[in-house]
Amino acid sequence: MEKQFPKNVRQIGNVSDSPKIYVEDYVDTFLNQLCDKTEEEPQGAFLIGEKGMTDGQDCVYISGALKISDIKREGNKVDLPEETMEKAMKECKEYFGNKALLGWCLIFPGHAMAVDEQMASVHEKQFPEENSIFVIKDPKEKEELFFAYKYKDLMQINGHYVYYEKNPDMQNYMISTRKENKVTPSEPVADRAAKDFRNLVREKLEKSDQKQNNKVLYAASTLLLVVILVIGVTMVNNYDKIKAVQTSIEKLSASVAGEGTTKTDEKVTAGEEKNSVNEEDIQEAVGNAYDAEEGIYTVQKGDTLASISKKIYGDLSQVNAIKKMNGLSNGNLIYIGQKLLLP
């Protein structure tokens, strides 16, 4: 099946060139974090994803990135050793399954924002496929240039898209290698527009969920009133029973009106009543979902940030901290199997 264009995108520069390049938001975040960690020596990342045709256009979808373990440098010349490429292939399969190495990103302090002959030679040797990608970034200014390998040369692409979607592979890689790479999903993103973009998408998803919940509540309320009406008609000749129906209607109406807050109130009350738990209580509550040594919790069916905070800490006090550490704005946006860093 032909891949569809991502729905939630923001445009960077002029995107009239071919191929169309799409970079997932977590990858964009990761590359910017590498810039923050780059001092004097060059660093880089391999770009992971897939290529293909979408609506008759050549497209490259970059959904993952792996930090380059070793970049050889001699003066202003860089190289990628064969053992580095072999390691990248293994890590790509480990973290990203069947996705392929599409190219690389180089962060080179003090180097001009341009491709020199040595860089082009390295790229041609390691990524000779048509439409493979090379990115060069300035670690201080966060400026970047994209190039696609076409016609046996690296041709500059003047614009690309950043897109947002669930990306558990990249998130898990960032969490699993946070100590080695010294970057995690919780670190601030230098590109403020990226944060604003992700928040905008989340708000849209939240509004969509709210509309869906309202529809369900409306349907349930309508069904309830129909049932009450039928009961009322069959009992119209019995005054005492009519009074009973009236009382039931009042109680049910009050119940429907308060349904939206009852569960939340119960959670808050439960959280206030229990302010602490011991380690045995935590283990019993979460089973194998929580790795205390690494501070990682794997989301289970029915979990929210509130329920996770209550299971681990005994109350709701850590909800905001969990949100901040994982770049989340709403507990309803987590999904089964997602790994969360806990404070």
pLDDT, position 78: 92
**4 within a domain of the structure (yes/no):** no
- State the burial class of residue 281 (Cβ atoms within 10 Å of its Cβ: 0-12, 13-18, 19+): middle
Residue with the bigger pLDDT between 184 and 271: it is: 184
Round to whole Å and give the CA distance between 170 and 148: 23
- Residue 280: which pLDDT band, with cuts at 50, 70 and 90? low
Round to whole Å and give the CA distance between 316 and 254: 27
Residues in Cβ contact with 144 at an 8 Å cutoff, skipping those fewer than 6 apart: 31, 135, 136, 137, 138
Structure tokens belonging to residue 335: 């999904």
- Residue 127: which pLDDT band, with cuts at 50, 70 and 90? very high
pLDDT, position 233: 56
Contact between 42 and 106 under an 8 Å Cβ cutoff? The reply is: yes
pLDDT, position 264: 40
Residues in a beta bridge with 163: 9, 24
299 and 158 part of one domain: no
280 and 252 part of one domain: no
Lowest mean pLDDT segment, chosen from 238-242, 292-296, 300-304: 238-242
pLDDT, position 131: 96
Q: At what angle do helices 82-96 and 168-176 cross, to 10 degrees?
A: 120
pLDDT, position 187: 46
123 and 56 part of one domain: yes
- DSSP secondary structure letters along 320-341: HHHHHHHT-S-GGG--TT-EEE
pLDDT, position 120: 95
Round to whole Å and give the CA distance between 287 and 300: 10
Lowest mean pLDDT segment, chosen from 103-112, 131-140, 161-170, 304-313: 304-313
Question: 190, 214, 234 — which closes off a domain?
Answer: 190
**269 within a domain of the structure (yes/no):** no
- Write the CATH number for 286: 3.10.350.10
Round to whole Å and give the CA distance between 175 and 185: 7
Residues in Cβ contact with 76 at an 8 Å cutoff, skipping those fewer than 6 apart: 111, 116, 118
14 and 141 part of one domain: yes
H helix runs in 59-145, sequence order: 82-96, 117-126
Q: Which domain holds residue 121?
A: 9-190
- Residue 261: which pLDDT band, with cuts at 50, 70 and 90? very low
**2 within a domain of the structure (yes/no):** no
% residues pLDDT > 70 (the chain) = 69
**175 within a domain of the structure (yes/no):** yes
Round to whole Å and give the CA distance between 176 and 184: 9
Round to whole Å and give the CA distance between 91 and 100: 11
Residue with the bigger pLDDT between 217 and 88: it is: 88
220 and 80 part of one domain: no
- Write the CATH number for 115: 3.40.140.10
Mean pLDDT of 46-65: 94
329 and 291 part of one domain: yes
Check whether 80 has a pLDDT greater than 90.
Answer: yes
pLDDT, position 310: 87
pTM for the complete prediction?
0.62
Residue 4 CB neighbour total at 10 angstroms: 8
Contact between 26 and 171 under an 8 Å Cβ cutoff? The reply is: yes
222 and 115 part of one domain: no
Question: 190, 205, 240 — which closes off a domain?
Answer: 190
